[in-house]
Amino acid sequence: MSFKFPDGAYVVTVTPFNEDKTIDYHSFKKFLEWISTTSIAGVVLLGTTSESPTLTYEERKEYVKFAYKILESKKFIVVGVGGTSTVETVSFANFANDYSDAFMVTVPAYNKPPQRGMVEHFKAVANTVPSKPNMLYNVPGRTAANLLPETLVQILNECPNVTAIKDATGNSEQRKKMINLVNNNTDRSLDSTFKVFSGDDADIVDICRAGGRGVISVVGNITPEYITEEVQHCLDGDFDKAFKMANLVEPLIKGIFVDSNPIPIKHLMHVLDIYRTNEMRLPLVPMELESGEKLYQTFIEFNRNIVKDYEVTGPKN
């Protein structure tokens, strides 16, 4: 049985809303149809970028079913099933099994579980559907809890279907220790049976240099071919080209994280007419006008500098 995640760049979806705050499935459909024609390796549904904490349980079910109908057999589909409650996470994983190729499971937020609690949480989800590959997601800046390398090793030795991690720690020393411990204390091979993905567009080159195999991307929502090529240069070992691409897109990446994600990327997708509105659900609010204009100008400058063959604007509403 294969639990492999394909190498490459994945896009984590942004959820469009109508003016009444309901999900804008018209815009979402156009986006998904477009992204399915790109070189992106996979699509992650219900990440934080999707504003998943503001979606109801029933909305999340509808969201996943809707996307699956469009993306099935076209892209590798990862569904974010993580939450603050293990019981609810397991429940949603059971539902999402029929509409996904893999799960992404976040370190539980707000509870600040001890390391032994994280082990039991991830084991419970992994054992829910033993045939489904699981990607763990470590993002201490959002969850206030950090999955330590030693804990990851324990999980890997007990859960064969945990085969990837999205690392958004921003901690290069912890990352090196994690990779070293996985290599020396498990039977996993870093490039085949266990893969590390960057959780930050700005860390692609650094993580790939250390043995990573791709990125879960936010900026890829508007630059899918560009991010795909940057990752491919890394996988080919051509870090000089990858580094040049990273430098070129760096101002845009900084721009889309100048405010809480996904506020800036949704603003851009609206300005570029990919989404009909830039509506957010509270407690998130749309980008302020002046900041939004600066971000758009940053995008224009990036667009002016890249090779003309890249498609960076997406579908039109």
Catalytic residue positions? 137, 166
CA distance 31 to 316: 9
What is the distance, to the nearest Å, from the Cα of residue 241 to the centroid of all Cα atoms in its chain? 23
Q: Tell me the CA end-to-end span of the chain in Å, nearest whole number.
A: 41
